[in-house]
Amino acid sequence: MQITRQADYALRTILHLSRLGPGQRASTGQIARDQNIPPSFLAKIVSQLSIAGVLQTWRGARGGVSLALMPDNITLLEVVEAIDGPITFIGCVTDSSNCTFGEKCPLRPVWCDAHSEFINRLKTTTFGQMAVTSTSD
């Protein structure tokens, strides 16, 4: 399992916007420059995050993007899954029949625990926490 570059760019985009004041907009050009994201890649990411209800977009000279929710209400998991879909380490985590050893597999509990811990970490980490942590360094 690997978080894609696109999901990484999405996370950096949301973090960038989380550092702005409530309701503040940023141009995609500014985000692309500040976060070293190719502009064409960013356009696709913004579209996906907008469809997921994480971002709002405006066109025109005074356009840009802003968060649709407060940073404390956006989790890392929500953003990653909006871009990459559900996270799975290995198929047997969600369905033991995907393993030739089934329920008797000695590795399955390890994979299930690791998956659960990873998902829980992403689910309980918000961009409000990340914005505070990253600005205090």
What are 58's strand-pairing partners? Answer: 64
Q: Going from the N-terminus, what domains does the chain have, and what CATH number goes with each? A: 5-86+127-135 (1.10.10.10)
Q: Which pLDDT value is given to residue 136?
A: 47
Cβ pair 119, 9 in contact under 8 A: no
This prediction's pTM: 0.86
Cβ pair 54, 67 in contact under 8 A: yes
Q: Which pLDDT value is given to residue 137?
A: 46
Cβ pair 65, 25 in contact under 8 A: yes
Q: Which pLDDT value is given to residue 91?
A: 76
User: What is the rounded CA–CA span in Å between residue 125 and residue 117?
Assistant: 12
Task: Provide the residue-wise pLDDT of the chain in tens; the chain has 137 residues.
Answer: 678 999 999 999 999 999 998 889 999 999 999 999 999 999 999 999 999 999 999 987 778 999 999 999 999 999 999 999 988 777 777 777 777 887 788 888 888 899 899 999 999 999 999 887 655 44
